Structure 1
Amino acid sequence: MAAKQQVALVVGASRGIGRQVAIDLAKNGYAVVVAAKSTSDASATKPFPPDPNSQQSTISTVEREIKEAGGQATAIPVDTRDFESVQKLVDETVKIYGPLDVLVYNSGAIWWASVENTPMKRFQLMQRVNVEGLYGTVQAALPHFKNQGWKARIIVVSPPIYSRFFRGKTAYAMGKVGMSILTKGLAMDWEREGKNGMAITSIWPASSIESAATKQMQRTDPGTVKDLRVPSIFSDAILAMLRAPVGDVNGLIDTDEDFLRTHEGLTDFSKYSVVAGATPRRIMPIKFPDLTVAEQADEGRRTDSTKMRNSKL
């Protein structure tokens, strides 16, 4: 009997990093569901393929790109702010392709400014798309993971936790760091419950990656292009994470460059530079703080709110 084709759901796959991840997963044999809000008539898109960092790149065009390259893909629109929409997305993915092997959460809303200059509506949008969207997607996937015997991987686009990250973008950092906390906490849940087939991992760029946002920056400062890398460094790191043993990556929060160096032995990253011969500036620290404490293994008197609530019924 032929081995089952692995299935990946990429949330936030219309352009940039998410598009590249979806395309490279398909190249590596995955059946891929590409999900985001933006759709279009891909058959009428000219020129094709569109600029991957433009509004012309949608989940519809990404689906077409994958299929024309010989891969298997389905585009499903989703609003990550709406839990019912997220549930329908995950259910439809499993209905079409069967058990879900990989979930990548790349959706994100960005606003980098001081607290004073971050309006409440902008703050709420970031929390709903970033941390709430991730939480809802994980919640929607958990029943399916249970049905398939707790064997799957989750990849989250969120950063290592360190103080400098908060500077100048506190509201944004609150949500993104919250996503990393989910990675740490859910990993500990699975370890404690003996779900040894599950792993959740966070990844973040060590250097800036070419995207719609960086293209806007280039309009005011064209010199920034020399500090950019192509998005394939990110998808290469994700593929390496998916190949790694569960114990190596469950609860890990790492950068693309650092993971490729430590787990793949890569030392020359020049092929990922947007400008040939340039060495992009690293935006992440070389070393991150250790978040564990000496009492890490001491769970104390654990409180389970579900049991407390049920005891009152």
Structure 2
Amino acid sequence: MTATKQVALVIGASRGIGRQVSIDLARKGYVVVVAAKTTSDASKTVPSPPDPNSPQSTINTVEREIREAGGEATAIAVDTRDVEQINHLVNETVRIYGKLDILVYNSGAIWWSSVENTPMKRFQLMQKINPEGLYASVQAALPHFGKNGWKGRIIVVSPPIYSRFFRGKTAYAMGKVGMSVLTKGLAMDFIRQGRKDMAITSIWPAASIESAATEGMVKKEPSTGKDLRKPTIFSDAILAMISASAESVNGLLDLDEDFLRNRCGVTDFSKYSVVPGATPRRIMPAQFPTLEVEEQNDEGQRMDSTKIRRAKSNL
């Protein structure tokens, strides 16, 4: 089956932000493949749809929500710690719909604590799911973008790079910042290779977003609800990034609020507040450092390990 609509693959789509992005992509006319580890029998889930931040929300209930609203979606289970499962997910997406136009990597593991209090197993889990899962997903998707004539978008949930992000969560930051480095590096590859219609962009929330994690915080301290935004702000920003020209967003590390304000002219963010009338506290800096330096384009002769290995094998 070849889709006439654009095909989006959302990895980490069972709850919260991933669910919202999937639903809104479908509303905008995209065919959506929703992927995550958790599955269920959506026909037996009560209520339907379930609380989007609860364990009852799975890729199967999200698929059902989209289909019942008139959209087109397919749920495919994946454990992003397993490269073969990721390869199967991407290949199955293309087998079903004939192509892949958009990849959104929202899958993530979290543990915020000091190095001393972050067990090695927890550190390894975060690296497997966060940077390694992203890297495997991008590698699996790139050949299919190539078959599209190098026209496509990759959206990564990772932060701008700045010092405070490392504080108190070093192990988590190592993986998340690594994801942002991939965004910057692959963007440079696209430019160097002349792939003007390809773009990879990172997005991060400016204020805390309602999720399973923050829901627990609100239960303990209801007043924290005033600092939360609905996941629709993140979804709106992602849709705007996808619609923007590739050149304008390739390699961009941005925040949901800032992108909507600076690129889309949004000035009123009140509709995104979980508590009506509240102004959620911004948890990110107003400005970020640039990563360019004066000798940015003066790297000398570029080494390519692939060519070196090929040369050695031909000896």
TM-score interval (norm. to shorter): over 0.9
Partner Cα separation in structure 1 for residue 229 and residue 70 of structure 2: 27
1:7 aligns with 2:22: no
Partner Cα separation in structure 1 for residue 150 and residue 246 of structure 2: 12
1:61-100, Cα deviation, whole Å (9 max, x unpaired)? 0000000000000000001000000000000001111221
One-letter code aligned to 1:293: V
Aligned to 2:117: 117
Write the mapping of 1:162-241 to structure 2, written as runs, cut at 5 A: 162-241=162-241
Helix, strand or coil for the counterpart of 1:154?
A: strand
Aligned to 2:252: 252
1:200-241, Cα deviation, whole Å (9 max, x unpaired)? 000000000000000111233221100000000000000000
Deviation, 1:274, is 0.1
Deviation, 1:4, is 2.3
Partner Cα separation in structure 1 for residue 96 and residue 4 of structure 2: 13
Deviation, 1:299, is 2.5
Deviation, 1:143, is 1.1
Corresponding residue pairs, total: 312
Deviation, 1:258, is 0.2
Write the mapping of 1:229-308 to structure 2, written as runs, cut at 5 A: 229-308=229-308
RMSD: 1.0
Partner Cα separation in structure 1 for residue 243 and residue 143 of structure 2: 24
1:237-276, Cα deviation, whole Å (9 max, x unpaired)? 0000011001110000000000000111001000000000
Aligned to 1:149: 149
Partner Cα separation in structure 2 for residue 171 and residue 308 of structure 1: 33
What residue ranges of structure 2 are gaps of 5+ in the alignment? none
1:64 aligns with 2:64: yes
Give TM-score scaled by structure 1 length: 0.98
1:280-310, Cα deviation, whole Å (9 max, x unpaired)? 0000100000110011111311100000001
Helix, strand or coil for the counterpart of 1:224?
A: helix
Deviation, 1:180, is 0.2
Partner Cα separation in structure 2 for residue 119 and residue 219 of structure 1: 27
Deviation, 1:110, is 0.4
**Relative to structure 1, is the Cα distance of residues 4 and 299 closer, same or farther in structure 2, using a 3 angstrom cutoff?**
farther
Partner Cα separation in structure 1 for residue 10 and residue 107 of structure 2: 9
Aligned to 2:22: 22
Partner Cα separation in structure 2 for residue 140 and residue 234 of structure 1: 25
What residue ranges of structure 1 are gaps of 5+ in the alignment? none
Partner Cα separation in structure 2 for residue 216 and residue 309 of structure 1: 51
Larger CA deviation: 37-46 vs 291-300: 291-300
One-letter code aligned to 1:262: N
1:147-188, Cα deviation, whole Å (9 max, x unpaired)? 221110000000000000001100000000000000000000
User: Do 2:197 and 2:247's aligned partners in 1 also have CA atoms closer than 8 Å?
Assistant: no
One-letter code aligned to 1:154: I
Aligned to 1:36: 36
Partner Cα separation in structure 2 for residue 156 and residue 180 of structure 1: 8
Helix, strand or coil for the counterpart of 2:96?
A: helix
Partner Cα separation in structure 2 for residue 95 and residue 29 of structure 1: 20
Helix, strand or coil for the counterpart of 2:116?
A: coil
Partner Cα separation in structure 1 for residue 170 and residue 224 of structure 2: 23
One-letter code aligned to 1:106: N
Q: Which runs of 4+ in 1 moved over 4 A?
A: none
